[in-house]
Amino acid sequence: MERRFACATCVSVSWLSSGQIFLLLLVLAGCGRNERMDLLYAERCMNCHGSSGRGDGILAARLPIRPPDFRETVERKSNNQIRRIIGEGRGTMPAFEPALRPAEITDMLQMVRFLSREGRDIAWWERFDTLVIAHCNIPWETVLGYDDKVDQTKP
Amino acid sequence: MTIRSTKPNHSSFHKYLFRSSIFLLAVAFVGLASGGIAAEIQPARADRRVTRRAIENFTLVDQNGAPFTFEKLAGKVVVVAFAYTTCVDVCPLITAALRQTQIGLGAEERGHVQLLTITTDPEIDSPKVLSTYAKRYGAEFENWAFLTGDPAVLAQVWKNFGVGVKRRARGLIDHTPLTALVDQSKAMRFAYIGPSPDPHAVLADVRALLKQQ
């Protein structure tokens, strides 16, 4: 499924104009780990999951179930599965859907992926995760010009 | 032919002793420092305070969307906790401790003890959100209600219990981490302030209040 998205991105890019490619690159450039993601993670996740996602936050020891080490669990999960856990919660983990915008949940998902790769050899397909997540968040209608206003004065 | 001295080499022995001592001191220092840091970052148990504060009646909405009146709990011991569902700080520990308290109650005791979780974030915590939250903790609704309601009414309830609430951002609220024990005559008798009230201590106080009846 994820590979299909990556392929779709390549095919889409092949017939875009230079302006559209520039816009697309601009969107993709903003998809790396950034301060916004770090801040969100620090505010909402770090207390339990720890600063590097190893499940060793300051509250972890007191929770009924210890949070997982991202490096051991995240690789096996799809983006949709992770997004669902973030959005709907699990056990003592809060459901963030009522509190966060979809873009913020995507940022959290990216952070989980980034932290899960630290200190281990990553599989080749994991290198495309960022691209896959970014693909899903590209405002395609804007990039392709579908939401341009129609000039009513023209006959 | 080399001549070896039979005299023990005191200077190298002293050097060895000195280095070992330095090494051991360094190990001890690192151990103590890390222990100290660990002790510092571990959230403390809740602070238990004995109090006597009359609690006024209020009506809120429970996890099913039905009105819930505090007055109907007269004659029961009530454990009241303040928390909100998107909390990533003390609330998960408080709710988990309350669940442990509920598990620790005997079948007969459950009829005389009511647990309440009152939200500090009515903006997000609708009855549906509270219901989902409660189920994630395995809460049994037989004697545990999760309450929300009109922000003005809730503000009065928070004030009544002495809970300070400050909204930082959507889904991020600073509030007094209070778990309170209210007796049969609706007076707050014990206040556990902190992230992790000890369920055994809460159960002991609950039983002491039940005996007073």
Write out pLDDT tens, residues A54-108.
999 999 988 888 999 998 888 888 889 999 999 999 999 999 999 999 999 999 9
What does the pLDDT average to over B2-12?
49
Beta-carbon contacts of residue B117 (< 8 Å; ≥ 6 apart): B80, B81, B82, B83, B95, B98, B130, B134, B144, B145, B146, B147
Q: How far apart are CA B196 and CA B213, in angstroms?
A: 28
Place of tokens 């928390």: B83
Please report, rounded to a whole number, the percentage of residues in chain A having pLDDT higher than 70.
56
Residue A8 lies in a domain: no
Inter-chain CB proximity A91 and B170 less than 8 Å: no
Place of tokens 């939250």: B133
Place of tokens 């989980």: A112
Cβ of residue A94 closer than 8 Å to a chain B Cβ? yes
pLDDT at B1: 41
Strongest mean pLDDT among A119-123, B70-74, B79-83, B196-200: B79-83
Higher pLDDT, B152 or A120: B152
Q: Mind giving me the DSSP string for A21-34?
A: HHHHHHHHHTTS--
Inter-chain CB proximity A94 and B93 less than 8 Å: no
* SS3 at position B54: strand
Chain B closest-CA separation from residue A12 CA (Å): 37
Inter-chain CB proximity A95 and B132 less than 8 Å: yes
What does the pLDDT average to over B132-149?
96
Residue A51 lies in a domain: yes
> Is there a contact between B209 and B181 (Cβ–Cβ < 8 Å)?
yes
What does the pLDDT average to over A110-135?
72
Task: Extract the tokens encoding B91.
Answer: 């609330």
Inter-chain CB proximity A95 and B96 less than 8 Å: no
pLDDT at B30: 44
Domain ranges, residue A62 = 35-143
Q: How far apart are CA B202 and CA A80, in angstroms?
A: 41
Write out pLDDT tens, residues A34-69.
888 899 999 999 999 999 999 999 999 888 889 999
Please report, rounded to a whole number, the percentage of residues in chain B having pLDDT higher than 90.
74
Q: How far apart are CA B94 and CA B59, in angstroms?
A: 23
What does the pLDDT average to over A106-111?
91
Inter-chain CB proximity B195 and A47 less than 8 Å: no
Q: How far apart are CA A20 and CA A109, in angstroms?
A: 26
Task: Look at B19-28, B106-115, B137-146 and tell me which has the smallest mean pLDDT.
Answer: B19-28
Instruction: Judge if pTM exceeds 0.80.
Output: no
> Is there a contact between A98 and B129 (Cβ–Cβ < 8 Å)?
yes
Q: How far apart are CA B85 and CA B130, in angstroms?
A: 7
What does the pLDDT average to over A122-136?
63
User: Which residues in B lie closer than 8 A to residue A36 (C-beta atoms)?
Assistant: none
Residue A5 lies in a domain: no
CA dihedral B168, B57, B118, B179 (to 10 degrees): 100
Residue A12 lies in a domain: no
Residue A126 lies in a domain: yes
pLDDT at A33: 73
> Is there a contact between B143 and B110 (Cβ–Cβ < 8 Å)?
yes
Confidence grade of residue B46 (pLDDT, cut at 50, 70, 90): confident
> Is there a contact between B68 and B208 (Cβ–Cβ < 8 Å)?
no
Cβ of residue A68 closer than 8 Å to a chain B Cβ? no
Inter-chain CB proximity A98 and B124 less than 8 Å: yes
Does pLDDT of B172 surpass 80?
A: yes
Higher pLDDT, A118 or A154: A118
**Per-chain mean pLDDT for chain B:** 85
What does the pLDDT average to over B2-25?
53
Does pLDDT of A134 surpass 80?
A: no
Structurally, chain A folds into a number of domains equal to 1
* SS3 at position B59: strand
Q: What is the ipTM, given to two decimal places?
A: 0.71
CATH architecture of the domain covering B47-212: 3-Layer(aba) Sandwich (3.40)
Judged by CB atoms within 8 Å, which residues 8-37 of A form the interface with B?
A: none
Inter-chain CB proximity A45 and B96 less than 8 Å: no
Chain B closest-CA separation from residue A52 CA (Å): 16
Confidence grade of residue B126 (pLDDT, cut at 50, 70, 90): very high
Inter-chain CB proximity B195 and A59 less than 8 Å: yes
Residue A22 lies in a domain: no
Judged by CB atoms within 8 Å, which residues 95-154 of A form the interface with B?
A: 95-96, 98-100
User: Which residues in A lie closer than 8 A to residue B195 (C-beta atoms)?
Assistant: 59, 62
Beta pairing class for B144-147 and B187-193: unpaired
Q: Where do the domains of chain B lie?
A: 10-42, 47-212
Residue A129 sits in a domain of what CATH number? 1.10.760.10
Does pLDDT of B154 surpass 50?
A: yes
Q: How far apart are CA A27 and CA A135, in angstroms?
A: 9
Using CA atoms, how far residue A146 sits from A21, A135, A141, A142, A149, in Å, is 16, 17, 5, 6, 9
User: Which residues in B lie closer than 8 A to residue A92 (C-beta atoms)?
Assistant: 92, 95-96, 136-137
Inter-chain CB proximity A62 and B43 less than 8 Å: yes
- Give me the helices (H) in B105-150, please: 107-110, 127-136
Which residue among A43, A59, A90 sits closest to B43, beta carbon to beta carbon? A59
Write out pLDDT tens, residues B87-104.
999 999 999 999 999 999
Task: Extract the tokens encoding A152.
Answer: 């009513």
